[in-house]
Amino acid sequence: MSRIVYNPTPRLLIATTNRDKIGEIAQELSGIPYAIVTLDAWPHLSPPAETARTFNENARDKARYYAAATGELTVAEDSGLEIERLDGAPGVESARFGGPAASYADKFALIYEALRAKGAADTTARFVCALALVNGRQLLFQTAAIVEGRIASGPRGSGGFGYDPIFFYPPFQRTLAELSPQEKASISHRGQAFRALRRFLEAGPTSRLNA
């Protein structure tokens, strides 16, 4: 009599509460041989303090924290906007720039005010996304991706989220908020990083990630 072996689909935790990011990430990972779960399954889990000074360190720290707290194979990302004439600000403080109560309209106003004070109305900028994949305490995969552009003369567009309305992408001659979701995904920092993760997850047996 043959024995039935039950092989459950391995799970992958996307460790962010940002619904816009989850939407973009889920699109990039659609069809992978993993059941994607989110932090909605752990509603009382407090986020970790983000004290590192680089995107790579923050991504690793968050992935290790959530992997330890949940027992899940976990991917975490840290991303933000770096503006050349502001010495790389807001950088890793992008989400917290202007304080906890600041809206993105407030953040935009602070950025344009700082640029005017420097006489730097035209400046290059880039979006950065670093991600880390962790199983227990083991770092399995890490990557980072960037998209280069400029700060637009003013916010434009109603798509995207975060700093997209002020990030002008020269090859398309539009801000990221003026792009279709498909256009944005094709060039975005987050899209590039999670496509690299997808290739890693699809490259080998899932058993090596869940041993």
The three-state secondary structure class of 139 is: strand
Burial of 40 (0-12, 13-18, 19+ CB in 10 A): exposed
Tokens matching residue 39: 């932090």
- What is d(CA 109, CA 88) in angstroms, rounded to the nearest whole number? 17
Is 122 in the active site? no
Compute how many other C-beta atoms are within 10 angstroms of the C-beta atom of residue 61: 19
Q: Which residue in the list 78, 87, 106, 122 is annotated as catalytic?
A: 78
Nearest Cα residue to 15 out of 69, 87, 53, 88:
69
Strand positions, DSSP E, the chain: 11-14, 35-38, 74-83, 124-135, 138-151, 167-169, 174-175
- What is d(CA 123, CA 77) in angstroms, rounded to the nearest whole number? 26
Task: Outline where the chain has alpha helix (H).
Answer: 19-28, 55-70, 104-117, 181-187, 189-203
- What is d(CA 187, CA 184) in angstroms, rounded to the nearest whole number? 6
Would you please indicate which residues are annotated as catalytic (active-site) residues? 78
